[in-house]
Structure 1
Amino acid sequence: MKNSLKVHAALFVVALIYAANYSISKDVMPRYMGPFGLVLLRIVGATVFFGLLSRLVAPQDRIIGRADNLRAVACGILGIGLNQLLFFSGLNLTSPINASLIQTIAPVVTVLASVVLLNERLTLPRLAGIALAGIGAATIILSRGPVAAGGQDGLLGNVFILLNATAFGIYLVLVMPLMRKYHPFTVLARIFLVGAVLAVPAGWQQVQQPDYASFPASIWAAIAYMVICLTILAYLLNNWALKYASPSLLGAYIYLQPALAVLIAVALGKDTLTLTKALQALLIFAGVFLVSRKPRQPEPVPLEPVQD
């Protein structure tokens, strides 16, 4: 298999794993386990896995220096701890389609964070994209209506998903220097360990409450999927693909994840696709497309010949 085909396959599998999770998680929450309990299982499982893997693959690699260690702590808090706690809390309250569409604005947050933290240019098309994506996300967040979680209103869940996308977008900017400087498994081991510091106290009570003996095989399979596929396999495939994928290719797969999530949710009867949601999706997709386009570099001005 050619390398380019492997990259496409890896990115597609990652998109499919994330897309399926929107519906699979709804089978577990809140009937069998609360959202924080699931987060604890996911993060602790990944912490053990990446901790062992980093020792095997890069035993001598260590994050050193006060600045890098503080950056790793920030990445663990934003990208692992808060990111997962907010995501599963939001998904517990809102619908799979709403969650998948709102989370698509993470690239918009990444660009805004890059402007603030890395002094990137904010062009007119990017401003227009931010406005379009913001309008689309706002209409979803403010839309009210009963969802699967006991008929609760999804407004709070939508807000949690927006905060989740914001935390993840900032995390992507913060983690990039660490990924370039250290082995990816060294970084993942550290940031998951930091995330576990948040996840364990938050989810300890919820992970003790369920009657595990009463769990049907399908629920055990769903939990195993979230720990193994969603947390470990997706991170491994994504980190490998990032070494070879172009920004435009990554941008294309940003749109695939919510599209797959919609198809899976509708096919399984977990959600319905309405004309309003389709229009909201178009606004967000158009905004993310404009934001994801890199600004053109100014052409160099030819030097005037020196006059004697």
Structure 2
Amino acid sequence: MSSPAPSSAPETRGLSALLLLVTALWGLNMTAMKTIASYFDPAVMATERAALAAAFMGAMLWWQRGRRRARMNRRQIATVLACAALMVYVNQILLSAGLVRTSATNASVAIALSPLVSSLMATLILKERLGMLRILGVALGLGGVLIVVLQSPGARLAETGIGDAMVVGSVVTFAIGGVLIQRLARETDALHASAAIYLCGTAMLALHAALTGVSPGIDAWYPGFWPLMLVLFSSLIATTFGNLAWNHAIVRIGVARVSLWFYWVPVFGVGFAAALLGESLSVWHGVGLAAVVAGTAIGTQRRA
């Protein structure tokens, strides 16, 4: 069993602010990815995002080259490969392809299952106790997300299909990878582990793109300036910064508690839709937001 590192109250408040920022970026990224998916093949989009993230993390490692880091042993390398396959390769392929095949509402509901899946994985793999406070937090947060998403203008649950199954699959792979990272990043550090994971994941995605016969032409990889800007935001800001911060928080307070912040992703998604697209909000959105706040506060409390 790998327990999260102890954290002080000021550090916990700092992590809360950091995770709130990350989920805001990821909420905005959901809209960006939905737009990017209309320009790119799913394999190309996933490969470009992962490659840019890996390159930026590699540059950060080079900048910190004076810092001594122990070489990874065979078990740690195996964990890196497993995380790369789950959190980068399979996750990105399923999420990119699933977003094209399902509605925004269905995708938001499927992604809202992440805290529940992560808590169950932490219980099964890391043997963490799933206490009543965490169960209550998960239930409140999930209920709040459903209220926020389903009360949005024009929102409706379409018939479930292959797209929904793909998005749920991406949630499961991300959750399992997060459990593995909790142990790996404590033995190395978040940047070292994340850079290795994204480097290996990029190689897997590039091989996938080559084997599936994606066109090597410039149009397949550069459909225009605006799509490229969205890819840069998605890869460098949402993916690189977001995953480094997320993995750092996992090391400090554990994957089960960190995962509860995922409820804020669809909430921010709806908020950005209202702010940027002029969609209206109702009192039900306030009720849902209150439930998400309460669920996050209750579920992330550390037991005495």
TM-score, normalisation: structure 1? 0.72
Contact 2:182 2:251 in 1 (8 A): no
**Structure 1 residue 162 displacement after superposition:** 0.7
**Structure 1 residue 13 displacement after superposition:** 2.7
Instruction: Point out where structure 1 has 5 or more consecutive residues left out of the alignment.
Output: 146-152, 298-308
| C-alpha distance 264-207 of structure 1, shift in aligned 2 (>3 A) | farther
Contact 1:36 1:202 in 2 (8 A): yes
The 1-side partners of 2:274 and 2:121 are apart by 34
Q: What amino acid does structure 1 have at the position aligned with 2:41? A: G
Question: Over aligned residues, Cα RMSD in angstroms?
Answer: 4.4
Does residue 43 of the first structure (1) align with residue 30 of the second (2)?
Answer: no
**Structure 1 residue 126 displacement after superposition:** 6.1
Does residue 33 of the first structure (1) align with residue 47 of the second (2)?
Answer: no
Residue of 169, 176, 184 corresponding to 2:182:
176
The 2-side partners of 1:156 and 1:130 are apart by 26
Residue of 23, 34, 38 corresponding to 2:31:
23
Contact 1:22 1:91 in 2 (8 A): no
| C-alpha distance 182-295 of structure 1, shift in aligned 2 (>3 A) | closer
Encode CA deviations 1:163-184: one digit per residue, 9 max, x unaligned: 1111111111111111111122
Does residue 232 of the first structure (1) align with residue 240 of the second (2)?
Answer: yes
Report the equivalent of 1:81: 89
TM-score, normalisation: structure 2? 0.73
The 1-side partners of 2:139 and 2:11 are apart by 37
Does residue 103 of the first structure (1) align with residue 118 of the second (2)?
Answer: no
Q: Write the mapping of 1:187-226 to structure 2, written as runs, cut at 5 A.
A: 187-204=193-210, 205-206=213-214, 208=216, 211=219, 215-226=223-234
Residue of 59, 69, 87 corresponding to 1:61:
69
The 2-side partners of 1:89 and 1:213 are apart by 17
Contact 1:97 1:258 in 2 (8 A): no
Instruction: Point out where structure 2 has 5 or more consecutive residues left out of the alignment.
Output: 1-9, 150-155
Encode CA deviations 1:161-214: one digit per residue, 9 max, x unaligned: 111111111111111111111122211121112212321122344463562698
**Structure 1 residue 158 displacement after superposition:** 1.2
Q: What amino acid does structure 2 have at the position aligned with 1:20? A: L
The 1-side partners of 2:144 and 2:168 are apart by 12
Encode CA deviations 1:223-254: one digit per residue, 9 max, x unaligned: 22122212222234445566777999846633
| C-alpha distance 178-3 of structure 1, shift in aligned 2 (>3 A) | closer
Does residue 259 of the first structure (1) align with residue 296 of the second (2)?
Answer: no
Contact 1:18 1:230 in 2 (8 A): yes
Percent sequence identity is: 22
Contact 2:114 2:259 in 1 (8 A): no
Higher deviation after alignment, 128-137 or 114-123: 128-137
Higher deviation after alignment, 207-216 or 42-51: 207-216
Residue of 157, 161, 165 corresponding to 2:171:
165
